[in-house]
Structure 1
């Protein structure tokens, strides 16, 4: 049986008078690609941040790889994020003065490790940039910069890779190249991936699309195609708040 990589149980997250997550139950199987979608303000990014240990839920529990995050001290939570979780965001967040290889090595250096050329080279090779190790961000295209950011997230061999609109700043062609790479990492290496997106085409690269409305799981699609995802999103955004029939 495939194990559960991420589990949220009765997760609530409140900000003063606003409830961002309202009792979310969600299990994500290891080695799968899950997309999270929903109307603006539905709680997508908050769910991602709670699942990745960037925020603590107001109540409920979050587990990553069988470890419950909600009971960890700040130090242990920091160590778990560093060693077990990878992040890719819409903005590449690369340091412009460093080469691609130096940017990829940063998480290891921050962990007090001396990165080897082999592990940094392997990470760049996994994203198809083995020949760009000495290039600085300004010498790379937007898609190549996002690939460097992805290699940086993968260099620690994380249990789960989280992406928050990772293709949001890319053109259509480059976006599809990065999505194809994410799909390849799941299929070829079993890399568990969870991605927030607003794009039905991006979501169609996933194994499963989970839809949020008002901080609750409202619907899901397995083996999605872009048309079906767009249709369900349109139904949710129209205010029905219910699953749209196939």
Structure 2
């Protein structure tokens, strides 16, 4: 039996001003406990897909269902609650508050939600990314890779149904990128975390279970159990045709 979808986009279109169509009738699902990479040429709609799937942007038409909730049926308050409790998001920039320790940064989403973060819950989230011993360190005392791992721990502290990552290794060197990608892979394999990652890097995408390709706001196929060479070749063909 195939695992259920945690996220479904059904006929999603997103128009912007001046006649720009970022997504054009996109339908795709992301199954529980899987790792999907989304790739495509610049301007293909990758980030817009992620933002619509995460409820950060509302589509012009179509439906987005996350953890059984149709986002179009939710008002702003309920959508905010769903994003806060069931959706994790990691960006290329770490977005850590420099005056807070790693533990305080991780606890921040809970505090903003009006909850009292448990010390054990915060430490468990840091332990999941291998940084329990760095709980008292501030961002300036951490490497780039460690800061990104703190950002991932912060996204995981609410135990989200899905973790979205937008170019999470874009600001890191090759060795540190491998460290972060290995962590994401371990979260999928060891904790059945659902991960959807936008990336431009075929090496990063090869860590996923499948790669979905976008061009001109539409899906142009996918690869299962992808290899770096296959991904790079597919990307060359896509970029040449755009």
TM-score bracket, shorter-length normalisation: over 0.9
* Aligned equivalents of 1:202, 1:169: Cα separation in 2: 13
**TM-fit CA distance, 1:70:** 1.5
Q: What are the superposed Cα offsets for residues 53-101 of structure 1, whole Å, 9 maximum, x if unpaired?
A: 0000000000011111112100000000000000000000000000000
Give runs of aligned pairs for residues 67-78 of structure 1, distance below 5 A: 67-78=69-80
More helix by share: 2
Q: What are the superposed Cα offsets for residues 156-197 of structure 1, whole Å, 9 maximum, x if unpaired?
A: 000000000000000000000100000000000000000000
* Aligned equivalents of 2:6, 2:118: Cα separation in 1: 28
Q: Secondary structure at the residue paired with 2:158?
A: coil
**TM-fit CA distance, 1:132:** 0.1
Structure 2 residue 139 is the aligned partner of structure 1 residue 160:
no
Correspondence for 1:7: 8
Correspondence for 2:232: 230
* Aligned equivalents of 1:235, 1:112: Cα separation in 2: 49
Correspondence for 1:192: 194
In structure 1, list runs of 5 or more residues that go unmatched.
242-246
Give runs of aligned pairs for residues 46-61 of structure 1, distance below 5 A: 46-61=48-63
Correspondence for 1:139: 141
Aligned residues: 240
In structure 2, list runs of 5 or more residues that go unmatched.
none
* Aligned equivalents of 2:193, 2:72: Cα separation in 1: 24
Correspondence for 1:244: none
> Where do 4+ consecutive residues of structure 1 move more than 4 Å?
none
Q: If the length of structure 1 is used for normalisation, what is the TM-score?
A: 0.97
* Aligned equivalents of 1:238, 1:91: Cα separation in 2: 30
Q: Secondary structure at the residue paired with 2:223?
A: strand
Correspondence for 1:105: 107
**TM-fit CA distance, 1:233:** 0.3
* Aligned equivalents of 2:73, 2:231: Cα separation in 1: 36
Correspondence for 1:217: 219
Q: Secondary structure at the residue paired with 1:238?
A: helix
Q: Secondary structure at the residue paired with 2:153?
A: helix
* Aligned equivalents of 1:70, 1:198: Cα separation in 2: 30
